[in-house]
Structure 1
Amino acid sequence: MTDSTQIPYLLRAARGEALDRPPVWMMRQAGRYMKAYRDLREKYPSFRERSEKTDIAVEISLQPFRAFKPDGVILFSDILTPLPGIGIDFDIVESKGPIIDPPIRSQSQIDQLRPIEPEESFPFIKEILQTLRREVGNEAAVLGFVGAPWTLAAYAIEGKSSKDYRIIKSMAFSEPALLHQFLSKLADAIAAYACYQIESGAQVVQLFDSWAGQLSPQDYEIFALPYQKQVFDRVKARHPETPLILYINGSAGILERMAKSGADLISVDWTVDMGEARNRIGRDLGVQGNIDPGILFGSKELIRDRILDTIRKAGNRGHILNLGHGVLQKTPEENVAYFFETAKQADKLLTVSV
C-alpha cells in the first residue's frame, strides 16, 4: 500500500482526506500576468504553437511551478484543442479570442463530424503530460482539463466569443433536436479526450463549462447538465479513481444542480459565500475556490484575511484553495507569490488568529 504522504497533496485533498491546510493552485496560473510568459509569447506569437508544441507548452506549464510551487500544475492548453480531432478547426487571435469559421449551424455539418482519435490527433498532449509528471514528481499533482459540451458548442455555433449567446440559444429554442445531437457528439469526444489525458499522466481533470452560467436553471438542466453527466459517467467508467472537478463561471444560481453532474468536486466562483456553497451542495462533495481574483490587487493583509476566511468556511476536508476564476492580467506577481506563501502557512496562521 502506498504511503499517503507520497501521494501529491492536492490528490489527497481531492480524494477526501482531512488535511492541515488545503492544497492550492490557481486557474490560469500560467499566463499573461507573468513576465516570463510575456517574454516567451514575444518569441512564439501563435497561441496554438505555444500550446501544441511539447517543449513550449511544458515550459509555460512549469513557469508558475518554478516561481510559486503550487500544489497543482495544470496542462497549458485550450478548451478548444480537441475540436480539430472531430473535424472543427479553429484559430486563436490575440485580443480577439477563438475564431471558428465556418461556424457549425446545420445538420449536414453535424453529420460530417467524426469520432475522435486522441492518439492520432493530439500526440503532443501525451508528451506534455508525461513530461510534466516527470518534472514535478510528487511535489504537485498534474491536472488535465477539458471544455464541457455546452461551452464548446457555444464557441462552435457562435463562431467566436459572445456576449448574448443569441445564435446557440436560438438553436436551442427553435431546433433543439439538432443541438442535442451536437451536444451528445461533443460529450463522447470530450470523454474520450479526458480519458486520454488521464492515461497520459493527468491525475485530476477539471471540466470547464464556462458559459453554462448564462443559462437559466431550467435550461441548464436541459442543455448542459445531461452532457456534463455524459462526460463524467464515461470517464468514471474507465477511470473511477481519478477525481473530476466541475467549474462554471457565474454558477451561484445552479450550485445544487451542479452537484448532480457526477463531479467529485465543485469549483465555486466568488459570487457565493464558501460556507453557503458547502451547505447548498452538501458535505459529501469537495469544493474548490473561491477567492475573487481582484483581491490580488489589494493589500497583503486583505489577501491573507480572505484566504483564511475561505479556509475556515470550507473546512479541512475536500477543499482545494483556488481563485473563483482565472488570474487577471497585470496582477502583481509578488501578490501571487504572497497568495501561495500564505496558503501554505494557513494551518499556523489559523492557529494564531483563533
Structure 2
Amino acid sequence: MAESSQLPYLLRATKGEVLDRPPVWMMRQAGRYMKSYRDLREKYPSFRERSENVDIAVEISLQPFHAFKPDGVILFSDILTPLPAIGIDFDIVESKGPIIDPPIRTQSQIDQLHPIEPEESLPFIREILQILKREVKNEAAILGFIGAPWTLAAYAIEGKSSKDYTFIKRMAFCEPEMLHQFLGKLADAIAVYARYQINSGAQVIQMFDSWAGQLSPQDYETFALPYQKRVVQQVKATHPNTPFILYINGSAGLLERMPQTGVDIVSLDWTVDIGEARQRLGKNIGIQGNIDPGVLFGSKEFIKSRILETIRKAGNQGHILNLGHGVLQKTPEENVEFFFKTAKEVSNLLAVTA
C-alpha cells in the first residue's frame, strides 16, 4: 500500500482500492461558468486558438486546479481536435458549436481521408500534457480524452450539432457499408490519438460518445459498440494499465452493453440511480458520476445532501465522484467550490450522519 499511496488519488480509485472518500473532478471543468475563463475568451475569441495554443490551453486546464484542487485535471481541448489530422477541417462558432463544412456524405470524401500522424499534426497536445504533468505533479491525475467514432461521425456527417441525426441515420440505414468504413477509419485514428495522449503524459483516458444515447439498443450494438471496442482494444494492446472511462449521454438503456467495450469505468449521467447502475454493470466495472449538473444551482445544504446520497449508494470502492454531464453555463462558482470542499470532507460528514 505504501507504493499505492504515492499515486494520484484518482488512480487509486481506478485500481479498486477501498478509500475514505471518492476522488472528485468535473467534466467541462474550465468553461463558461469560470470568470477567469470568460476573461480569456474575451481576449482569445477563437476556440481553436484557445485549445491549440500551448500556453493558453495550459492556463485554462489549470484554472480549476488552482481554484478548487480537484483530483483530476483534464486537458482543455475538444473531441473534434484530431479531425483535421485525418483530413476533416472544422470550426467552433460561439453559441452555435462545431461546424464542419462541407459535411462528410460521400464515398469519395471518405476515400480521401488519411491515417493520423499526431506527432506532425498535433504537436501542441504533447506539449500541453507534458506541461500539465510537470505542474500538477502527483497532486491530481492527468486526464486525456477522445471522442468515440459514432459521435465524431455524427458531427462530420450532420455538419453541426443535431437534434434528430437524420443524415447519419439515413446513411446508417441506407448505406451502412459506407458508414462502417468511415467509423472504422475514425476508430483507428482515435486509437492512435489516445495512445499519443498517454505517451505525452495522460494517466487516464475518457472516451465521450455523447450521441450514442440517440441510438436504439440494436443500432448501438451495430454502429457504436463495435467501434468503441475497437478503440479500447488497440489502446489496451499497448497501454494495458491505463484506465479507460466511457461516457454516453442518455445511457440508461445501454448500461449492460457498455462493459462489452472493454473499458474499466462507466461514467453515468443522472437518468439512472447510481446504486441500480452498480447492480446492472456488475462488480468488475468502476463507476463515475452521476450528479445532475443542475444540483449546483441549489442551496449548499441541497448540494451536500446529493453528494452524500450519491456516495452512500455508490460505496467506497471503484467510484469517482463527478457530474452526470458538464458544468452548466452560469453555474455559481462558489457552489462549484462548495461541491469540491464537501466532497473532500465527505469521510467526516458520513461519520457524523451515520
Task: Place the TM-score, normalised by the shorter chain, in its bin.
Answer: over 0.9
Distance in 2 between the 1:232 and 1:17 partners? 23
C-alpha deviations, 1:306-352, integer Å up to 9, x for none? 10111111111110000000000000000000000000011111111
Task: Give the SS at the match of 1:259.
Answer: helix
What letter is aligned with 1:271?
A: T
Distance in 2 between residues matched to 1:2 and 1:199, nearest whole Å: 26
Alpha-carbon distance between aligned partners in 2 of 1:205 and 1:22, rounded to the nearest angstrom: 18
Which residue matches 1:151? 151
Residue in 1 that maps onto 2:300: 300
Alignment of 1:73-152 (within 5 A): 73-152=73-152
Provide the secondary structure at the position in 1 that maps to 2:260.
Answer: coil
Cα 1:117/1:2, change in 2 over 3 Å: farther
Alignment of 1:194-273 (within 5 A): 194-273=194-273
Equivalence for 1:326: 326
Distance 1:99 1:330 in 2: 24
Shift of 1:2: 6.9
Query: Cα offset for 1:75?
Result: 0.0
Residue 184 of structure 1 aligns with which residue?
A: 184
Tell me the CA shift for residue 17 of structure 1: 1.3
Report how far residue 73 of structure 1 moved: 0.2
1:72-113 deviation per Cα after TM superposition (whole angstroms, max 9, x unaligned): 000000000000010000000000000001110111111110
C-alpha displacement at 1:6, in angstroms? 1.1
Letter in structure 2 aligned against 1:203:
Q
RMSD: 0.8
Amino acid at match of 2:276: E
Is 1:5 paired with 2:1?
no
Distance 1:201 1:350 in 2: 35
Q: Give the CA deviation at 1:244.
A: 0.2
1:260 partner SS:
helix
Match of 2:14? 14
Identity %: 80
Query: For 1:133 and 1:311, how far apart are their aligned partners in 2?
Result: 28
Look up the SS of the partner of 2:253 in the other structure. helix
The residue number in structure 2 matching 1:336 is 336
Deviation at 1:283, TM superposition (A): 1.2
Deviations 1:32-88 (A, max 9, x none): 100000001000000000000000000000000000000000000000000001000
In structure 2, what is the Cα distance between the partners aligned to 1:16 and 1:135? Answer: 26
Give the whole-Å Cα distance in 2 for the aligned partners of 1:55 and 1:318.
34
Pair 1:26-2:32 in alignment: no
Distance 2:321 2:153 in 1: 29
Q: What is the rounded CA distance, in whole Å, between the counterparts of 2:343 and 2:22 in structure 1?
A: 8
Poorly superposed stretches of 4+, deviation over 4 Å:
none
Structure 1 residue 188: Cα displacement: 0.0
Q: CA deviation at 1:259?
A: 1.4
Counterpart AA for 1:159? G
- Tell me the number of residue pairs that the alignment of Structure 1 and Structure 2 aligns: 354
**1:163 partnered with 2:163:** yes
Distance 1:123 1:14 in 2: 28
- Report deviation, 1:5: 1.4
For structure 1, which runs of at least 5 residues remain unmatched after alignment? none
